[in-house]
Chain A
Amino acid sequence: MMSTEQQPIKFPGQVIDTPGGGILSGPIDDVINWARSNSLWPLTFATSCCAIEMMSTAAAKYDFSRFGFEVYRATPRQADVIIIAGTIVNKMAPVLKRLYDQMGEPKYVIAMGACATSGGPFFYNTYSVVKGADHVIPVDVYVAGCPPRPEALLHALIALQEKIKAGTKRERIDIDGNKLIDKRV
């Protein structure tokens, strides 16, 4: 689903891409987005305290499998969303990048807690903390809290589902400096 934006070809008249897709492919895209958003499988990735709140969200009181996050996959090849629960430090950052690269498209990232958002309580005077997981991988949803309540994490998961259903475009810059528009339908 990746295309580089090209110049419209000289034809009688001009061919311009209409945003939002055509009449036939629009509803199909909507169905695909709906299906994708309702069955996201998270990767078991938890570094510190937010892991306990994530485990509480998975347990029976604040069950998140009713939203489709039923199965926790341990291998990144089978996971759709990575919930970064906990602080990322310098030694862990290459591991996180490698896990993210191993996941298959389309993949989403939720930064849970203050540490993954911006370094959190470990922002000042620490020599080993990465001040925010978005220095390493691109993040879709940020959740505030230290640790965030299970309801806050559920709110973030529903926000991610809304984001997927709306159809997103993500801009990336490849290694030669060219801009690529990654159309997520």
Chain B
Amino acid sequence: MTNEELINELTTIQPNLVPEAGGEWPNLFVEAADWPKLAQALRFKDDLFFDYLFCLTCVDWKTHLSMVYHLSSTLHRHNIVIKSKLNREKPEIQTVCDIWRTAEFHEREVYELFGVNFLQHPDLRKLILPDDWVGYPLRKDYEDPINMIKL
């Protein structure tokens, strides 16, 4: 399916999606509360069939955080990018581990580097930082005068 068809199909399923212009793949903003329903539709509807989540990350825009999910379909060979704005003080979003198993490790990494809480994640704890690390290193306001030597 082409980009326009994908955007049309998804806006019929979920009316309050906001497309973003630019980029080679369709970029769509979804509310954090509507994400579980949209994820189910993306994975299980036959003409969409996005079964391969190839990148899950988070970007810190200084006023808010934004989750980015890159999805692809091994059957129809189309790609899509779903984003979701999160509140900076209390970032929370539903997990997608039960739909795409690769999200388990990726969400743990986003949790420890950005502080996003994934609701109903089976095992949310630190993955690559030491267990007693304080702070969220990849946020833009992270200060660490002891370890980080600035050029």
A and B touch in the complex (CB under 8 A): yes
A125 touches B149 (CB 8 A): yes
Does A131 belong to the interface (CB within 8 Å)?
Answer: yes
Does B22 belong to the interface (CB within 8 Å)?
Answer: no
B144 touches A127 (CB 8 A): yes
Determine how close the nearest CB of chain A comes to the CB of B135; give it in whole angstroms: 9
- Inter-chain contacts of A75 with B (CB < 8 A): none
- Range, interface on chain A: 10 to 19
A127 touches B137 (CB 8 A): yes
- Given A127-B137, A127-B144: A91 in contact with B130 (beta carbons within 8 A): yes
- Inter-chain contacts of B137 with A (CB < 8 A): 127-128
Task: Provide the bound-state CA to CA distance between A90 and B130, in Å.
Answer: 8
Partner of B150, one of A90, A91, A124, A129: A124
A125 touches B148 (CB 8 A): yes
Does B129 belong to the interface (CB within 8 Å)?
Answer: yes
Determine how close the nearest CB of chain A comes to the CB of B145; give it in whole angstroms: 10
Task: Provide the bound-state CA to CA distance between A90 and B137, in Å.
Answer: 14
A125 touches B150 (CB 8 A): yes
Q: Which residue of B lies closest to A90 (CB)?
A: B130
- Inter-chain contacts of A126 with B (CB < 8 A): 147-148
What 0/1 readout, one digit per residue, does chain B (117-151) give for beta carbons within 8 Å of chain A?
A: 00000000000011000000100001010011111
What 0/1 readout, one digit per residue, does chain B (52-65) give for beta carbons within 8 Å of chain A?
A: 00000000000000
A123 touches B149 (CB 8 A): yes
Determine how close the nearest CB of chain A comes to the CB of B82; give it in whole angstroms: 30
Task: Provide the bound-state CA to CA distance between A91 and B149, in Å.
Answer: 18
Instruction: Give me the interface of A with B, judged by CB distance under 8 Å.
Output: 90-91, 123-129, 131
Seed contacts A126-B148, A128-B147; 6 additional CB < 8 Å A-B pairs:
A90-B147, A123-B149, A124-B149, A127-B137, A127-B148, A131-B149
